[in-house]
Structure 1
Amino acid sequence: MVHRPTALITGASAGFGLALARSLVGRGWQVIGTARRADRLERVRAELGDALLAVPGDVTEPGYRAELADTARRVGDLEVVVNNASRLGPSPMPRLADYALDELESVYRTNVFAPLAIAQFTLPLLRAGGGVLVNISSDAGVEPYPDWGGYGSSKAALDQLTAILAAENPQVSIYAFDPGDMRTEMHQAAFPGTDISGIPLPETVVPTLLRLIEERPKNGRYTAADFATGVAR
């Protein structure tokens, strides 16, 4: 029986998560996929077949994360975890001085607390096989773009969280990965009414993340450009 490596991908029903799931399944992987919208995830499961273990639900909910943890433990060998699910916040995006704090809490629950919670239950599985944990970041976590304070500050927090997890778990490859601008629903919501057809599709960015996973440079924060040019720090 041929061993199929397994990845857990949050936000696997659309955008970058879906493109990554398709690519890994095409390479012979099994994917545990999450998404809040069960109908979308079911369509992905129908497309990818039994290579996708669909676990629909909201990663911000503790009860759902317990179900997801049970699924991951039943699978056993877990090679890769990609915390891809993200929340943009209100669209159009408000300035921080006007940001509703309950909305900001929702952004942080998805973009910071959920990735940490998933790391907490998957790290023992990743340690067992020397696996890889990737938290999807953004240049908005580095650059102070006006109107991006909610999403950007959450990604800055995620970057620091990722760096500390890496320092505390040197036996696991742990990365923050910034894929750059992509033609996704979330990017369109960030720029309502703007034509974003000129920016790259998620499928064109996936190979750079696969290079990161395969090459496993030292733990740190990387961008797609680092691997598109063949230069990794």
Structure 2
Amino acid sequence: MPAAIITGASKGFGRALAHALADRGWDLVVDARGAEALKQADFGPNVTIIPGDVTDPEHRADLVDALPKLDLLVNNASALGPSPQPALADYPLDEFARVYEANVLAPLALIQRALSKLDSGIIVNVSSDAAVEAYEGWGGYGSSKAALDRISAVLAVEHPSLHVYAFDPGDMRTDMHQAAFPGQDISDRPEPETVVPALLKLIDERPPSGRYTR
């Protein structure tokens, strides 16, 4: 039975993906900072819930140690930063550092911890169109995702036996997307469940490592 770690699985895309893989019979370890939201997600018997923050080294160790083997690691947990999104000239540097800690350093640290169990497995780093497009106000989150994209690309070169994907799910109707556009109606964005099949296709077909969009 294949096994995976999915971070940020209490809501949005992470929760939708966890449900999809659980329905396929995968053994999963999932996390999020909100313990109650994880419990309410009701993933099923093959899913181990470990609440915590991916920026915590002990929590990352707990995630990896919970599985004897690992076929898939999905770095989905992310920090948006201040809402509304500030211009770079006004961006609080302590907040900027926290965004990078969650979106760049924590995924890399989790990858480093999990590599010995991944063998020829799959790493998915959830990206954003803000990583490649210069949107006003997205200098913090966007540049952190650009850094994560570059980490993905270099990791694929350094570990050719792995399949490493930077996956851009596009705009979705999530709490994070709503926080990025406070007061705006985002009901026209697709639900995360409609995006999951694009990632499942990557997992099933294992095309060459690279950056993919839904």
- TM-score normalised by L of structure 1: 0.90
Shift of 1:118: 0.7
**Distance between the aligned counterparts of 1:57 and 1:50, measured in 2?**
20
Aligned partners of 1:63, 1:177: CA distance in 2, in Å? Answer: 27
Q: Deviation of residue 121 (structure 1)?
A: 1.3
Q: Which residue of 1 aligns with 2:94?
A: 102
Provide the residue aligned with 1:229 in structure 2: none
Q: In the alignment, is residue 193 of structure 1 matched against residue 188 of structure 2?
A: no
1:6-17 counterparts in 2 under 5 A?
6-17=3-14
Matched residue of 2:149: which SS? helix
Distance 1:67 1:82 in 2: 16
For 2:102 and 2:32, the matched residues in 1 are separated by 12
CA contact (8 A) 2:131 2:145 kept: yes
Amino acid at match of 1:37: G
Q: Cα offset for 1:80?
A: 0.8
Mapping 1:1-233, distance limit 5 Å: 4-44=1-41, 47-71=42-66, 75-127=67-119, 130-224=120-214
Deviation at 1:49, TM superposition (A): 2.5
Q: Which residue of 2 aligns with 1:227?
A: none
The offset of 1:176, in angstroms, is 0.4
More helix by share: 1
Higher RCO (CA 8 Å, separation ≥ 6 residues): 2
Figure out how many residues of one structure are paired with residues of the other and give that number. Answer: 214
TM-score, reference length from structure 2:
0.98
1:52 offset after TM fit, Å? 1.0
Displacement, 1:30? Answer: 1.5
1:65-87 per-residue CA deviation (whole Å, 9 max, x = no partner) reads 1222322xxx2121111000010
Aligned-partner Cα distance in 2 for 1:113–1:202:
25
For structure 2, the residue ranges without an aligned partner over 5 or more in a row are: none
One-letter amino acid of the counterpart of residue 64, structure 2 = A
CA distance in 2, matches of 1:148, 1:95: 7
How far the C-alpha of 1:122 sits from its partner, in A, is 1.2
Q: CA RMSD in A?
A: 0.8
CA distance in 1 between partners of 2:212 and 2:166 (Å): 6
Q: Is the 8 A contact 2:132 2:146 kept in 1?
A: yes
Residue type of the alignment partner of 1:181 = D
Greater Cα offset, 48-57 or 83-92: 48-57
Q: Matched residues, percent identical?
A: 60
